[in-house]
Amino acid sequence: MPQVTLTVNGKSASVEVEARTLLVELLRESLRLTGTHVGCDTSQCGACVVHVDGKSVKSCTMLAVQADGCSVTTIEGLAAADGTLHPMQEMFREHHALQCGFCTPGMVMSAIDLVKSNPQGLTEEEIRHGLEGNLCRCTGYHNIVKAIAAAAPLMNATPAE
């Protein structure tokens, strides 16, 4: 079976997987990082979004073997070692941007990429467009958009992931 060696949340991992193993399966089942969720399994809902080499991707639509040699960040890799939340997580909490929380890990990971790739700032419309790949069934999105708008200046002031 193929051996996949990758860095996950700053730690090196080497895992033997079947070629057909999805990246999300490696994360959840081999590494037990269950913060990354599987919602639709058809690349539409975005609950499985993680960062691969700094870019947001749907880990249910990427093979684990494709991530060989890559650096992956999941929702578990955002908070500081002392538990201090990432500014995006903190703003999701502050603005009540989640209800059931199922979509939240993917939302947060997408939102961080969105802010990072738009250092000039984001309009509300741009935030909504940037979240097209993430579905939420309970918040109605308004508070998610507010949280991202609030987190953007904080992230730009303190570059961190």
Partner 1 sequence: MYDFTYQKPASLPDAVKALGTEDAKALAGGMTFIPVLKQRLNKPSVVVDLAKLGLTGITVTGDTVTIGAMTTHETVANSAEVKRAIPGLADLAANIGDKEVRHRGTIGGSLANNDPSACYPSALLALGGTVKTDRRTISADDYFQGMFTTALEPDEVITEVSFPIPQKAAYAKFRNPASRYAMVGVFVAKGPKGVRVAITGAGQNGVFRHAGLEAALAANWSADACKGVSTPADGLNSDIHASAEYRAHLIGVMAGRAVTAAG
Our finding on whether 150 is near partner 1 (CB under 8 A) is no
Residue closer to partner 1 by CB (options 41, 124) is: 41
For residues 112 and 33, what is the distance between their CA atoms, to the nearest angstrom?
A: 19
Amino acid at 142: H
Our finding on whether 110 is near partner 1 (CB under 8 A) is yes
Residue closer to partner 1 by CB (options 19, 160) is: 19
CA atoms within 13 A on the CB side of 148: 29
Our finding on whether 136 is near partner 1 (CB under 8 A) is no
CB of 81 to partner 1, least distance (A): 28
**Choice from 13, 65, 150, 154 touching partner 1 (CB under 8 A):** 65
3-class state of residue 103 by DSSP: coil
For residues 134 and 132, what is the distance between their CA atoms, to the nearest angstrom?
A: 6
Dihedral sign computed on CA atoms, order 147, 153, 155, 156: positive
CB of 141 to partner 1, least distance (A): 14
For residues 56 and 72, what is the distance between their CA atoms, to the nearest angstrom?
A: 10
Our finding on whether 95 is near partner 1 (CB under 8 A) is no
**Choice from 87, 91, 107, 113 touching partner 1 (CB under 8 A):** 113
Q: What is the DSSP string of 42-68?
A: SSSS-TTEEEETTEEEEGGGSBGGGGT
Our finding on whether 8 is near partner 1 (CB under 8 A) is no
Closest CA to 111 of 158, 102, 6, 97: 97
Under rule CB under 8 A, which residues in 27-56 are in contact with partner 1? 41-44, 46, 49, 55-56
CB of 161 to partner 1, least distance (A): 16
Contacting positions for partner 1 (CB under 8 A) = 2, 18-20, 22, 41-44, 46, 49, 55-58, 61-63, 65-66, 68, 110, 113-114, 130, 132-134
